[in-house]
Chain A
Amino acid sequence: MEKSMKINFRLNKTLKSNIITYGIVIAAYIIVQLLVNAGQVSNLMKGLLVPICIYTIMAISLNLTVGILGELSLGHAGFMCVGAFSSALFSISMLDAIPNAGIRFFFAILIGAFFAALAGIVVGIPVLRLRGDYLAIVTLAFGEIIKNVISVVYIGKDASGLHFSTKNAMALNMAKEGTVIINGAQGITGTPKNSTFTIGVILILITLVIVLNLIHSRSGRAIMSVRDNRIAAESIGINITKYKLMAFTISAALAGVAGVLYSHNLSALTATQKNFGYNQSIMILVFVVLGGIGNIRGSMIAAVLLTLLPELLRGLNTYRMLIYAIILIVMMIFNWSPKLIDLRKRYFHKNRAEKERA
């Protein structure tokens, strides 16, 4: 009797926490939609809605690797890059073949996720077998490599199909009416603008369903046991590489989905240091660290706030990057400094004690 009660209670707790997480997303969506319909949202905000979705998905995805799997990935933007370019290539070459934007975008998302997952597997298979911080080193390299590789790829399309080259656009040897899709460093231009806020929110919800269900599944517990004590996990017969690879691949695929949203939100896509480079990867890691490692909800909120912040500070002009950095440092200290954690605990504790007395 008592036992079943306890289990019930525990289930309820995770369920409740999950419902709150979904609830925040849905509530934010409804509020924003109402405001947009009422004409209360500026153009800047409207333009920021899709990027917010993109970075939220990236934060959730990276939190799966950093928080749940306990491995450090410093090249998450690289997976985003793979998803962005593969899906943009698909969308442009299928522009005539699949005229329906919805169906085309659906397949683009699948393709972006698939190729990012593939990249995740390729990176993961050798590296996840090792102990130590090797994943961080290899993903860091991966992010830089993929950016440079894409900068030398030329892909064109004419009547006889796709042409590939790594030299220049002329080496594609296309028929006269052929068009260059990926033009080396000049990237892809003319990707259809299919990303919308609604699709972004749906993708966030799907991401949440995948990640939260994974965490609370048998596999999820296995993954966390690997994180917490590798030797103990190994001793009870958990296949460490399998579970590590599983979490990392899912994480990469989700980053690919964010990349699809990214490439279908802007008509010009180039692989630069700015959007898919090291800085971007670190930025996403900052979302996760600030929001709380392993705390999915927290990383979502951090992603939203930190995406909005630089734009809200535009009024400060060139000082905004400085202010942004200061805010980051202050937030980091507030969240992680042991003294402040103590202080917060004492404060909350006092509150709780008072309530209990009352």
Chain B
Amino acid sequence: MKKSMKKLLSLAMAIALAASLTACGSGKTSETTAAGEKAASGESSGAAASGEGSFKIGGIGPITGSTAIYGQAVMRGAELAIEEINADGGINGAQIVYNFQDDENDTEKAVNAYNTLKDWGMQMLVGTVTSAPCIAVGAESSNDNIFQLTPSGSAVDCAKFENQFRVCFSDPNQGAASAQYIGENKLATKVAIIYDSSDVYSSGIHDKFLSEAANQGIEIVSDEAFTADNNTNFSVQLQKAQDSGAELVFLPIYYSQAALILAQAKQMGYEPQFFGCDGLDGLLTVENFDTSLAENVMLLTPFAADAKDELTQKFVTTFKEKYGETPNQFAADGYDAVYAIKAAAEKAAITADMDASAICDALKTSMTEISVNGLTGENMKWSKDGEPDKAPKAVKIVNGVYTAM
């Protein structure tokens, strides 16, 4: 009796497993509606957007977990751009439907998210937000020949394949640009670096900065790392930088750690010039952070929320109204990514009924022919290898606001 019960149970389990698989196989329609509902609730698709005759743009990024702030910014930035475009009549007369999937900043989840979007019928991908997932998804999208434009995947391999483009600078680009900027403007000859060796972004910039510094006549007097597991006390790294007599401390890290470093340097009475990359963007918005500490900090960033040009002003106002917070550089990247796709799509004159592969082939060529005036740069152009061509802007924090240099 017991045996037959067990047998029955296992049989039922096997059937349940198979059933769950089929359920997913035939669940395509339900997914589409769910996505549609989501788009509607996010108010990203215009009222006129319907399943027929509209472009399906997918997005992937972390909207939960420790890096959620980046994914959410990109999602909102892109959403805002899509709303604007839809209100303006869409791309070549077709509306855009937008579906953003969470990847938790995990390569495995990112591929799952990508496959979900593929089932949904995605034609173009704005993503992914973070580097490692972007590389993993890139291998899949190049295999399927789906056009991929990452707003903020900055590792070199994020634009490895022909179908991949990016809006942000690559990490090495930023490292080299920082070294060149310091060298050309003679900011310092003795430089100390504090970076996060467990972070792809930080170590990518750091490595290139080291090799470029030699060409610029910069002497690296102290090169200290920390990891994600011990990123609260920086007194050792700062002490070493001070002892080595560095005039400038280079911080290719994110703003949350930078805020701590600035506060701890102040306590030590150590006041060198601090120089960072776009990761420092957001420094002034850290809660309970004394912004006077950030006085005179320089950073290379493609986007400053209080820039005076009309485009940025409009973007920042609408973003604040809609989401109640100041957009950061990631939001701007997401916004620009959608407009870049629009420009390329109009150039190639693609239509919504084309399949993803045909769209990809068309966009691959037209991406290299367009020039976009975006939030993160004027006259952005793309080369065949997917890298953007735009000038990095350096800003200095004076009286608590970014000032162009």
A interface bracket (residues with beta carbon within 8 Å of B): 35 or more
Q: Is B236 an interface residue (CB 8 A)?
A: no
Given known pairs A27-B14, A41-B21, A185-B203, the reply for A318 and B112 (CB within 8 Å) is: no
Report the Cα distance A314→B101, complex, angstroms. 8
Q: How far is the CB of A340 from chain B (nearest CB, A)?
A: 17
Type the 1/0 row for B376-399, where 1 means its CB is closer than 8 Å to any CB of A.
Answer: 000000000000000000000000
Interchain CB contact under 8 A, A151 and B20: no
Report the Cα distance A218→B79, complex, angstroms. 63
Q: Is B271 an interface residue (CB 8 A)?
A: no
Interchain CB contact under 8 A, B64 and A45: no
Given known pairs A168-B206, A312-B24, the reply for A268 and B133 (CB within 8 Å) is: yes
A297 neighbours in B (Cβ, 8 Å): 10
Type the 1/0 row for A258-296, where 1 means its CB is closer than 8 Å to any CB of B.
Answer: 000010011111101111000000000000000000000
Interchain CB contact under 8 A, A274 and B135: no
Q: Is A187 an interface residue (CB 8 A)?
A: yes
Q: How far is the CB of A174 from chain B (nearest CB, A)?
A: 13
Q: Is A213 an interface residue (CB 8 A)?
A: no
Q: How far is the CB of B115 from chain A (nearest CB, A)?
A: 4
Interchain CB contact under 8 A, B105 and A184: no
Q: How far is the CB of B207 from chain A (nearest CB, A)?
A: 5
Interchain CB contact under 8 A, B197 and A152: yes
- Looking at the complex, which of B26-34, B256-264, B341-349 is the stretch in contact with chain A? B26-34
A45 neighbours in B (Cβ, 8 Å): 21, 24-25
Report the Cα distance A40→B227, complex, angstroms. 45
Interchain CB contact under 8 A, A46 and B107: no
Interchain CB contact under 8 A, B112 and A268: no
Interchain CB contact under 8 A, A20 and B24: no
Within 8 A of B (CB), among A6-45: 13, 16-17, 20, 23-24, 27-28, 31-32, 35, 40-45
Within 8 A of B (CB), among A192-219: 193
B229 neighbours in A (Cβ, 8 Å): 144, 148
B interface bracket (residues with beta carbon within 8 Å of A): 35 or more
Q: What residue of chain B has the Cβ atom nearest to residue A316's Cβ?
A: B34
B197 neighbours in A (Cβ, 8 Å): 151-152, 184-185
- Looking at the complex, which of A57-65, A109-117, A122-130, A348-356 is the stretch in contact with chain B? A348-356
Report the Cα distance A34→B72, complex, angstroms. 40
Interchain CB contact under 8 A, A46 and B115: yes
B139 neighbours in A (Cβ, 8 Å): 193, 266-268
Given known pairs A35-B22, A168-B206, A266-B108, the reply for A148 and B132 (CB within 8 Å) is: no
Type the 1/0 row for A39-56, where 1 means its CB is closer than 8 Å to any CB of B.
Answer: 011111111100100000
Q: Is A136 an interface residue (CB 8 A)?
A: no
Q: What residue of chain B has the Cβ atom nearest to residue A297's Cβ?
A: B10
Q: How far is the CB of B82 from chain A (nearest CB, A)?
A: 17
Q: Is B104 an interface residue (CB 8 A)?
A: yes
A24, A40, A42, A352: most-surrounded residue (chain B CB, <10 A): A42
Report the Cα distance A262→B18, complex, angstroms. 23
Interchain CB contact under 8 A, B211 and A267: no
Report the Cα distance A193→B104, complex, angstroms. 22
Q: How far is the CB of A161 from chain B (nearest CB, A)?
A: 22
Report the Cα distance A17→B31, complex, angstroms. 38
Given known pairs A148-B198, A151-B227, the reply for A267 and B135 (CB within 8 Å) is: yes
Interchain CB contact under 8 A, A41 and B108: no
Complex partner residue of B26 from A40, A183, A301, A355, CB under 8 angstroms: A40
Report the Cα distance A100→B373, complex, angstroms. 48
Interchain CB contact under 8 A, B115 and A43: yes
Report the Cα distance A186→B135, complex, angstroms. 11
Within 8 A of B (CB), among A332-358: 348, 352, 355-356
Q: How far is the CB of A123 from chain B (nearest CB, A)?
A: 20
Q: A45-B21, A352-B1 are known contacts; what are 13 more A-B pairs with Cβ within 8 Å?
A: A35-B18, A44-B112, A44-B116, A44-B119, A45-B24, A151-B198, A186-B204, A189-B135, A262-B108, A270-B200, A272-B105, A314-B113, A321-B64
List B residues at the A interface (Cβ < 8 Å).
Answer: 1, 3, 5-7, 10, 13-14, 17-18, 20-22, 24-28, 30-31, 34, 38, 63-66, 101-102, 104-109, 111-116, 118-119, 131-136, 138-139, 155, 157, 196-200, 202-204, 206-207, 210-211, 227-229
A-B contact list, 21 entries, CB within 8 Å: A16-B3, A20-B7, A23-B14, A24-B13, A41-B24, A42-B115, A43-B119, A44-B116, A44-B118, A44-B119, A168-B210, A170-B210, A185-B199, A185-B200, A186-B155, A266-B107, A272-B106, A273-B228, A297-B10, A312-B24, A318-B102
